Amino acid sequence: MAGGDEQSDSLFGVDTLRRAALVFAPLALAAALVVYLLFHVQATALRNAEQADEERVVEIGRQRGDGELAAILSDLRYLARQQALQRWLASPDAEARQALAEDYHAFAAEKSLYDQIRLIAPDGRELVRVNWNGGSPVVVPDDQLQDKAARPYVAETLKRGPGAI
């Protein structure tokens, strides 16, 4: 039996385990390296896809913003060239002012984009204002028009000069 024990010891002995480790350790290391590389490639691809998605979202937002800004600039140019405004500038009487207020009212009702549409004098006083009023535009009565001279947007606008946006 002693001879059998020696065989059994050598079967699972240090030499056998060393040879097995020499064979299987590099294979396990190679398998681990392959798994790591696959994970790394997949993680990189996922990051690249997420970045591309984010870039598309930003580009769509930029295009929307550009489109909305272009529409607003178009509205400003329309309002600046409006016949009722030109008539009022030529003859600033009550009838011309009323016609301008009615045009602003119609514009606000159709556009439904602006909370207020105003004509402000160079001294900062509102001459005409239409409030959106939750979807029912209303021309503000004269006694409720306000002085906006202290507002930064008035000073900034007046610095730009005629025709500038």
CATH of 84-160 among 3.40.50.1370, 3.30.450.20, 2.40.30.10, 3.40.50.300? 3.30.450.20
Q: What is the CA radius of gyration of the chain?
A: 39
What does the domain layout of the chain look like in residue ranges? Answer: 2-68, 84-160
6: pLDDT strictly greater than 80? no
> What does the alpha-carbon distance between residue 27 and residue 1 come to, in Å, rounded to a whole number?
36
Give tens-digit pLDDT for 11-55.
567 888 888 888 898 999 999 999 999 999 999 999 999 999 999
Give tens-digit pLDDT for 59-94.
999 999 898 999 999 999 999 999 999 999 999 999
